[in-house]
Structure 1
Amino acid sequence: MRRLLFAGLAALAALPAAALSPPAPGATGGKLDLETIMANPDWIGAAVESPYWSVDGRSLYYSLKRDGSKVRDLYRVDPLSGQGTKLDAAAVAQADGAPVFDRAHRYAAFVRHGDVFLVDLSSGRRVQVTRTTDEESSPRFSSDDRSLQYRQGNNWFVYDIASGVSAPAAVLRFVDDPQAKQPDALGRQQLDLFNALRQNKSDKDAQRANDEALAAADPGRAPKPIFLGEGGEPVDTELSPDGRWMLVVTKPKDFKKGKEPEVTHYVTDSGYAEQQETRTYVGRNDPAPQSLLLVDLKAAKFYPLKTDGLPGIKDDPLKAIRSKTIAALEQAGKADEAKALKAPDQRSVRIISSAEDGGGGGIVWSDDGQNVAVQLRAIDNKDRWIASVDFDKHALVTQHRLTDNAWINWNFNDFGWLKDGRTLWYLSEETGYSQLYSKSLGGKPRALTSGKFEVSHPLLSEDGQWFYMRTNQVAPYSYDVYRLPSGGGELSRLTQFQGMDDFVLSPDGRQLAVLHSSPYRLAQLAVQDAAGGAPRELTNTMKPEFTAHAWIAPRIVGVPSSHGAGTIWAKYYGPSDPVAAASRPAVIFVHGAGYLQNVTLSYSNYFREQMFHNLLVQQGFVVLDMDYRASDGYGRDWRTAIYRQMGHPELEDLLDGKAWLVKNQGVDPRRVGMYGGSYGGFMTLMSLLRAPGEFAAGSALRPVTDWVTYNHEYTSNILNDPQLDPEAYATSSPIEYADKLQDALLIQHGLIDDNVLASDSIRMYQRLIELHKNNFWISLYPMERHGFVHPDSWHDEYRRIDELFQTWLRPTPPPATN
């Protein structure tokens, strides 16, 4: 199954942890309590995960988390009858994995427990191709259907179906060819002087020539090593379906990524404090530049694919910022620092690899192996190129360039080939929204979809006739499966779930298995005709203790922007009688990740927070959960509004949310609080510090307080490097505004957080101490990382948040004391 959500800054969601199930809310007269809400979520049920079709298309498999454990069990269900069963260990050993098929549909292949299996579809005979301790992956059939290709790390193997023999597709050595080394002047003199040395050399040359002749005449031998030279190491390799070529992505061998900060584990098995390295800070060293090699496996030769012909590769999109910073450094007498910021002659690139993104990667071969497309990104992430390869000239040929003055989206970069092997398809945000395009080699792009909605995860059917995709065409918060003829035409809606999370086509292309959810219903599996129609529900994994409660349906509302941004979509939680909301205090929840969409009709990552919002309403509050600018699902301009000014457009939106609560719900403007984790914690700090007096209290969970200490991948896209653009970091970091604090602030952080380090919160706390501020507190959790996993920690964290709001959002706040 394909991943549909961007992780970014880890969302405030926890992995399940073992604990006893709490009493159902109904057992206490329908009243909620923190013990129930923050307990092990097993009492809610389990989400259906990773569905896939069996080889024969007659069954669906899926995984479910086991109660009281992180273990996932495998289930099989009949899509016709809906009858399903959990597989025991013996049945799992005989189960299919997610299959791939040859073009003639005579064979299928899949991976089970890290090994590759081959199935003869006519007889049902199954052959285990590998049995190793290594993880094999990415099985696929060769372009002539005679062999099965698969990878083991960056090494590719080819299994000949007729003979049953498996062999390496290539043996790559990242050293210089020892046989190619020529003697220097002294060596030549030695050969001239000594007959014995000449004879030894002659014997070696004769033996090598004989070995090469035997190898050329004997296809049963393993391939000889291909020497790719010193100085590089592999990042990714992609074998052509015809077995002729291999593209190799490399990075410098001795590249230094910079000093890694450490976190301290205080509660350990050993009884001693232990250190753990994490990740480098932004700007400490840019990611390693990558290079491409085209390897001719038949001729045992390789050719560097130069990137100097990519349009815009020699531009400096940061020229204005660079000039300003260099001038300031030179004026301050820091000539060496100014010199270090000089623009390179050519920007470095990276190729998204299957090793980094979990599959697919930045290299896609056509089915026949006659063409290949490569997706490259400038390391500054302001350009994305899709290029084909001219095999005769050993050169990249640009087919598409996407450029963005801010940064290229992390999402919406899918691409591939139509079945003709000569036409590319790809997603692009060039109109402001992710849309689907096609382009023949050397031809002009053609928009297959258009509109102010997002297209994601297009899937080309096996017969090449249809694209299936996920879009929010009806409304930004409503997602379903749509279908489009691959040559262009009408975009047709196939499902009506509004909370569609993922989908997978059956092997014959006639059925569609769909994962769907709703605000209080975990992802469930349904099946329907691939052309549309009524779905058949196959699972119900919710627990009656949870479903029996009368949960408050979040009301999706549109908050008008007072800054020309349009509509800010939000989820509102309040009493069923609108009049009852008048004069209530309010809480604004801020989701994490920045680029994440929480206002949807699907089950939320923030399910605990949603239950907490129900509790707050029960206690007399109303709650607003907003998709502020930077959130996913609303187009390019919404995403990039925060470029070089994180925390500023978002605060404008949150203040508009407060104004909407006051105007439409009668909320007391003096009694509005805020909380959120990760990016939501960052925004809680920015809101209290940049708009003092607007929010009576706030809880910042695992917040970024200073962006210079966050990671490179996320931060540099939005704020550039701190050495190059210090102004953007000063503008965007809460610690720079610490002197403005006047409202109650609770900071909470896991001590072993290796995403946003606890040092962020501790540094902010020290700053507030030195500023002699009042009414601020910190709560640290020794056993927690970024996403909490222990129910006791969840309970303590939200008990403190609840107490903060109960104390500071009531009609008469207490006097300011610390």
Structure 2
Amino acid sequence: MQKLFFLFIFSCYFPTASAQNKLAPLTVQKIMRDPKWMGSSPSQPQWNRTGDTLYFLWNPDKKPADSLYFITLNNRKPQKTTVAQRQFLSRPGSYVYNLARTRYVFEKNGDIFFTDIAARITRRVTNTIEAESNPQFSFGEKKIVYTRNSNLYAWDIATGETEQLTNIGTGSNHFGSKPTGGKEEEWLKNDQLVNFDVLRERKAKNDTSDAYRRALPKEKALRYLLVREGSVRGLNISPDGRFVSYRAFKPATTKNTIIPDYVTESGYTTDISGRNKVGAEQGSSAFYIYDRKQDTVLTLPLESIPGIRDLPDYLKDYPKAFDKRKKEGALRSVSVYGVSWSSKGKHLVVEIHSDDNKDRWLMHWDMQINKLILLDRQRDEAWIGGPGINGNSMGWINEDLFWFQSEKTGYSHLYTINLLNLQQKALTSGNYEIQEAILSQNKKFFYITTNEVHPGEKHCYQLHIATGKKERITTMTGANETSLSPDEKNIAVLHSYSNKPWELYLQPAKAGATAQQITFKAQSEEFKSYTWRDPEVIAFKAADGALVYARIYKPANPHPNKPAVLFVHGAGYLQNAHKWWSSYFREFMFNNMLADNGYYVMDIDYRGSAGYGRDWRTGIYRYMGGKDLSDHVDAAKYLVDTYGVNPQHIGLYGGSYGGFMTLMAMFNQPEVFKAGAALRPVTDWANYNHGYTSNILNEPYNDSLAYYRSSPLYFANGLKGDLLICHGMVDINVHYQDAVKLAQRLIELGKDNWELAGYPMEDHGFVEPSSWTDEYKRIFKLFETVLKK
């Protein structure tokens, strides 16, 4: 009996050689197949309104697309939803409750519904072909206000009567007005009346009828509010129904880029209309508040905003332009990002951003005298950003206490401000970020996600507002992306670790609770047959003393030439030196393959990466390819000093921003990096989009110095090593034009040892396994040929 037990244990821990070696050795062809071979991870967990059912997307059957599954608190085995179930689903976030949470409204399929929970009655408010949206309680919660065709309507809960609240129109003419003609039209009209008796008789009758109607008493007409150009956005109404706010948005008319598509079904080359380029004129908006009681349209007194005339510091590098603008003293252009009414309508907070994105103001609007009072100003000479800064991370704890997030200490944290005495209070502090904040229904807690434990981990806490005490809810090492149930009793957790893809868990929403795993399909048997490395997360000091976080893949048998490769993550503001499953899963597998072939592999969260606060986020301001490149040089030195890597055998690769960084490294640090694969790289930042680029480099015509020192095109003469450029030819993000311009520059410079591989049917993110395979076979060949000489 003991022998049998021993044999059973032995067989469990030592799988057969065929099972162990399904993926050994790793090859590009195996790695770059359709990702379904790896397994299926769940995504987008979503609770129903009552919190007893959880829905999520999943594809355990390896179908062409994900399906919607669900579990209940009583039956936690995943089941696929039926067509009938999907027809009646609504997002919990779409439910808007009254203050007592006894009633709620929601939009579904373009119509508005109202539910009385106690009475268990749901009434359909609208049933129209036109779409209604954004329902909310107003008029002391006696009416439901919603939007239809850029106007507000109110439905009386008691009587069922519907009233139009606004009459906002776009265009230069009043509704129903007709264009007037010239002298020729007036002559023709008189001539008709002279020559035709019937026309004269009919006109006389119509004139008599019109005169009678004009003599009747008239009800006061709904005021017509004209938006002459553009469209109406952001309609909002105060809780008492008195004030309506809206933005008139005017789009810019700029020249868009064109991307040729060569491989098409028709056989003809077609043009894809793309975006505009950085520095192009952007759309503008004007903000208005309509006082329905006074029948008056108000504009905010923007000139009273503190610092509204402040100029950015970078202009001091251009003295003539600086002096000219300082002398003019013009108000900076601003945009209203949002408005937030207190629950009873006593206060309104307006969030305003400068269009140059150097300032964010939170202003209290005094509705009695149309005055703006400063609550908080966040000034950043680089650009306003960070978790929870741009968006909806603000609101009301009670009628007088407002909460928001700010990076004023260098890290995004939670704050409150009392509107009665303007006293501010920090609810959190420290060298970590609040990455998400949800206020509890009873307004006594926040459920927050932070990276306090480690920059490479995400955990959920319950924060007590009164005491500031935090209680950690999640405990699993890695990332824990949580979804709180509407009754706040449970959380759904998407959890992953460095070498383990995402799985779904369920646990009570309290400290000390145990998480129950719900799904088990993220790793196929084939995927699990290889022992994927758990890359060590370390930190090293850069030359300027800053601490740089990194992940290292170590070879079990280093190649005699001790080569090393740096992987450079893309996306600009992104984090990859962490302890969860990376969105760069193909690169994770490729890095394992490189390590199997004797390379040390390292990827770092260079300056500009997410997760490390304001100074790290803005470390690339006005100089991309500055500190972010020196961080990679310091990483190479760390590999040489720590692991004995040969300094003559170091290469790097990356896509998008990683491709840009690869070019800057190959052109500006040719003695450090001998081989580089630049995938879909930006070669000239003047080609890229406005939103991302203008934050970091300002506009080309205002800050040409920043563009010159940040664009690889200007440094191509420095190339000495071997360079591979790969780019999708229908890339609508970083256009293929970037690669073509650089190729022409390298040709003109007479450079050797470089090649450009174009992928005719690929966008920025490749789709076809054949393209991924071809690209990474080229990268591997480059490193094998150059770094192992």
Query: Shorter-chain TM-score category?
Result: 0.7 to 0.9
Query: Deviation at 1:417?
Result: 2.7
> Is the 1:137–1:150 contact (alpha carbons within 8 Å) kept by the matching residues of 2?
yes
Unaligned 5+ runs, structure 1: 1-23, 182-195, 216-223, 328-337, 353-361, 813-818
Query: Deviation at 1:689?
Result: 0.5
> Is the 2:682–2:734 contact (alpha carbons within 8 Å) kept by the matching residues of 1?
yes
- Aligned counterparts of 1:114 and 1:790: Cα–Cα separation in 2: 36
> Which of 373, 379, 404 is residue 397 of structure 1 equivalent to?
373
- Aligned counterparts of 1:458 and 1:419: Cα–Cα separation in 2: 13
**Residue 729 of structure 1 pairs with residue 737 of structure 2:** no
> Which of 355, 365, 383 is residue 407 of structure 1 equivalent to?
383
Please report the TM-score for the alignment, with normalisation by the length of structure 2: 0.87
Query: Deviation at 1:619?
Result: 1.8
> Is the 1:505–1:511 contact (alpha carbons within 8 Å) kept by the matching residues of 2?
yes
Aligned to 1:268: 264
- Aligned counterparts of 1:139 and 1:69: Cα–Cα separation in 2: 37
- Aligned counterparts of 1:370 and 1:792: Cα–Cα separation in 2: 61
Distance 1:607 1:678, change over 3 A: same
- Aligned counterparts of 2:176 and 2:423: Cα–Cα separation in 1: 45
Deviation string for 1:644-669 (max 9, x for gaps)?
A: 11111011100111111111122111
- Helix, strand or coil for the counterpart of 1:28? coil
Q: Which segment is superposed worse, 754-763 or 582-591?
A: 582-591
- Helix, strand or coil for the counterpart of 1:628? coil
> Is the 1:177–1:227 contact (alpha carbons within 8 Å) kept by the matching residues of 2?
no
Distance 1:78 1:808, change over 3 A: same
CA RMSD of aligned residues (A): 3.1
| AA in 2 matched with 1:662 | V
What is the aligned length? 741
**Residue 612 of structure 1 pairs with residue 590 of structure 2:** yes
> Which of 246, 249, 274 is residue 248 of structure 1 equivalent to?
246
Distance 1:425 1:64, change over 3 A: same
- Aligned counterparts of 2:482 and 2:765: Cα–Cα separation in 1: 27
| AA in 2 matched with 1:55 | R
Distance 1:715 1:602, change over 3 A: same
> Is the 1:460–1:466 contact (alpha carbons within 8 Å) kept by the matching residues of 2?
yes
- Aligned counterparts of 1:72 and 1:165: Cα–Cα separation in 2: 43
Distance 1:203 1:83, change over 3 A: same
> Is the 2:311–2:326 contact (alpha carbons within 8 Å) kept by the matching residues of 1?
no
> Which of 520, 527, 535 is residue 554 of structure 1 equivalent to?
535
**Residue 539 of structure 1 pairs with residue 535 of structure 2:** no
> Is the 2:315–2:321 contact (alpha carbons within 8 Å) kept by the matching residues of 1?
no
- Helix, strand or coil for the counterpart of 1:715? helix
- Helix, strand or coil for the counterpart of 1:717? helix
> Is the 2:169–2:175 contact (alpha carbons within 8 Å) kept by the matching residues of 1?
no
Query: Deviation at 1:251?
Result: 3.0
> Which of 760, 768, 783 is residue 761 of structure 2 equivalent to?
783
| AA in 2 matched with 1:511 | N
**Residue 518 of structure 1 pairs with residue 497 of structure 2:** yes
Q: Which segment is superposed worse, 370-379 or 150-159?
A: 150-159
| AA in 2 matched with 1:279 | R
**Residue 747 of structure 1 pairs with residue 725 of structure 2:** yes
Aligned to 1:97: 91
- Helix, strand or coil for the counterpart of 1:549? coil
- Aligned counterparts of 1:149 and 1:514: Cα–Cα separation in 2: 35
Query: Deviation at 1:128?
Result: 4.8
Q: In the TM superposition, what are the counterparts of 1:308-707 in structure 2 within 5 Å?
A: 308-318=303-313, 320-321=315-316, 323-324=318-319, 326=321, 345-352=330-337, 362-409=338-385, 411-413=387-389, 414-441=392-419, 442-532=421-511, 533-545=513-525, 546-565=527-546, 567-575=547-555, 577=556, 580=558, 583-707=561-685
- Aligned counterparts of 2:449 and 2:501: Cα–Cα separation in 1: 19
Query: Deviation at 1:551?
Result: 0.9
Query: Deviation at 1:272?
Result: 1.1
- Aligned counterparts of 1:134 and 1:773: Cα–Cα separation in 2: 61
Distance 1:620 1:323, change over 3 A: closer
Distance 1:160 1:794, change over 3 A: farther
> Is the 2:39–2:60 contact (alpha carbons within 8 Å) kept by the matching residues of 1?
no
Q: Which segment is superposed worse, 396-405 or 38-47?
A: 38-47
Query: Deviation at 1:803?
Result: 1.1
> Is the 2:558–2:599 contact (alpha carbons within 8 Å) kept by the matching residues of 1?
no
- Aligned counterparts of 2:249 and 2:327: Cα–Cα separation in 1: 23
Unaligned 5+ runs, structure 2: 1-17, 178-203
Relative contact order (alpha carbons < 8 A, sep ≥ 6): 1 or 2 greater? Answer: 1
| AA in 2 matched with 1:518 | Y
> Which of 275, 280, 290 is residue 279 of structure 1 equivalent to?
275
Deviation string for 1:413-449 (max 9, x for gaps)?
A: 1442333122111111111111111001141211111
| AA in 1 matched with 2:350 | V
Choose 1 or 2 for highest CA Rg: 2
Aligned to 1:62: 56
- Aligned counterparts of 1:128 and 1:35: Cα–Cα separation in 2: 55
Q: Which segment is superposed worse, 592-601 or 724-733?
A: 592-601
Q: Structure 1 vs Structure 2: percent identity of aligned residues?
A: 37
| AA in 1 matched with 2:727 | H
> Is the 1:294–1:394 contact (alpha carbons within 8 Å) kept by the matching residues of 2?
no
Please report the TM-score for the alignment, with normalisation by the length of structure 1: 0.84
- Aligned counterparts of 1:162 and 1:723: Cα–Cα separation in 2: 60
